[in-house]
Amino acid sequence: MTTKLEKILRTAEKGNGLENQDIRFLLDLEEKEQVEALFATARNLRSRFFGNKIFLYGFLYISTFCRNNCHFCFYRKSNPDSVRYRKDKDDIVSAARELAETGVHLIDLTMGEDPELLMPDGQGIDWLIDVVASVRAATGLPVMVSPGLVPEEMLKRMANEGVSWYACYQETHNPSLFKRLRPGQSYEDRLQGKMMAHSLGLLVEEGLLAGVGESRNDIANSIDMMRCLDADQVRIMNFVPQNGTPMADCLPPDPFRELVVAAVMRLALPDRLIPASLDVDGLGGLKARLDAGANVITSLVPPGQGLAGVAQSSLDIEEGNRTAESAVRILQRNGLRAAFLHEYTDWVQQRRQAIAAVHSKRRSAC
Ligand code: SF4
């Protein structure tokens, strides 16, 4: 191992964080021995902050309608190949209950920027808040809502009426790449939405896509931006080319890319949540993601309910391989375990108190 790498890993392991130039250096690692050392440091840090416990997230894609046309997304408005549905409340609550019974720690309600939900008459938000209340009553679990960019009023209702998390992915923090990937959308508004959510007391998940035309420096800057946002959960996902989209013929990135970025995120944000999504490679890709320092398994989807994934709309779902039971078997084989529910809710509670304290200090300084 080079002295420079050893020095950076030692600094990170002491919890002293990473400079942007260190992040760029780590993102360039390719030699097997060096990458293994990076992954080992990521696992050590996960273990220091979280022990051997891993959190499990149930995923319900409740509406696949969207007003936008992101170039990378299967569910873009103008994709005729996309599966479209909008689940009703009873179906959502029943799927959430089923997920809760399998031992997940959170229910993630994801949707496109569904025009019906965002109607100015407010009926859409009333519906969503009612769904959240019903899911919480039926499961007793925290809820994450991933509705895309929404008005401030809607964030306020979410914060005041029982939502714990707001997930909204920038996918890149290079504004000109953002403009190409997300035509007609505002980079600034999307970022501001997350800051607003945090100031209202919601936990925030930020996310990146790898393999969509970004440079190594773009990824390093994104990791810096995630620290600047003080994001509570940070995800990296390799781009999967989608039928019927302008990027359908793009080559997917090296599968290794996602793992290296995840490990660097763990070094840069050691006490935060980093998901291992089943959405790109299914259950077969889980061990590699855990080995890179992830501590949440996301995209657990119940079979038999006609529910879709995001990057892979159907991979492993109806085969029953996106279940907590299958994931837990892999955890056990790797010396890890599913957290107890109270361990997850304690973490959520502590983070919410931490962000409330930061924002109250900022308000009193103004
Ligand atoms: S990424 Fe989100 S906002 Fe963009 S088209 Fe897909 S569902 Fe809509």
What confidence tens digit (pLDDT) does each residue in 264-279 have? 999 999 999 999 989 8
Tokens of 103: 């031992």
Q: Which atom of ligand 1 is nearest to the CA of 73?
A: 6
The best mutation among 65, 67, 68, 239 to test binding of ligand 1, ranked by most ligand atoms within 8 Å of the C-beta, falls on: 68
pLDDT at 1 over 80: no
Distance (Å) from CA 103 to ligand 1 centroid: 29
Least confident residue range of 42-46, 163-167, 254-258? 254-258
Would you state the pLDDT for residue 170? 98
Residue 120 in this model has a pLDDT that exceeds 90: no
Residue position matching structure tokens 């409340």:
89
- Closest ligand 1 atom, CA of 112? 7
pLDDT in tens, 309-363: 666 656 667 776 789 999 999 999 999 999 999 999 999 999 999 998 888 777 6
Residue 320: count other Cβ atoms within 10 Å of its Cβ.
14
Query: Which ligand 1 atom sits nearest the alpha carbon of residue 74?
Result: 6
Q: Residue 185 pLDDT more than 90?
A: yes
The string of pLDDT tens digits covering residues 17-71 is 799 999 999 999 999 999 999 999 999 999 999 999 999 999 999 999 999 999 9
pLDDT at position 309: 67
Q: How far is the CA of 357 from the centre of ligand 1 (A)?
A: 33
E strands, 124-169, in order = 143-146, 165-167
Q: Give pLDDT, residue 311.
A: 61
Kindly report the backbone phi and psi dihedral angles of residue 64, in degrees, each rounded to the nearest multiple of 5, phi listed first: -100, 15
Q: What is the mean pLDDT of the chain?
A: 94
Q: 324 near 55, Cβ under 8 Å? A: no
The residue whose C-alpha atom lies closest to atom 2 belonging to ligand 1 is 112
Identify the DSSP state of 234: E
Index of the ligand 1 atom closest to the CA of residue 67: 8
Residues in the chain: 366
Question: Which of 90-94, 201-205, 306-310 has the lowest average pLDDT?
Answer: 306-310
Residue 172 has pLDDT above 70, yes or no: yes
Amino acid at 166: Y
Percent of the chain's residues with pLDDT above 70:
96
Lowest mean pLDDT among 84-93, 262-271, 279-288, 332-341: 279-288
Q: Which residues line ligand 1 (CB under 6 A)?
A: 66, 68, 70, 73, 75-76, 112-113, 148
Q: How far is the CA of 208 from the centre of ligand 1 (A)?
A: 14
Give the mean model confidence (pLDDT) for residues 72-91.
95
- Measured in Å, residue 75 CA sits from the centre of ligand 1 at 6
Q: Whose CA is nearest to atom 5 of ligand 1?
A: 76
Residue 66 CA, closest ligand 1 atom number: 8
pLDDT in tens, 197-242: 999 999 999 999 999 999 999 999 999 999 999 999 999 999 999 9
Average pLDDT (243-250) is: 96
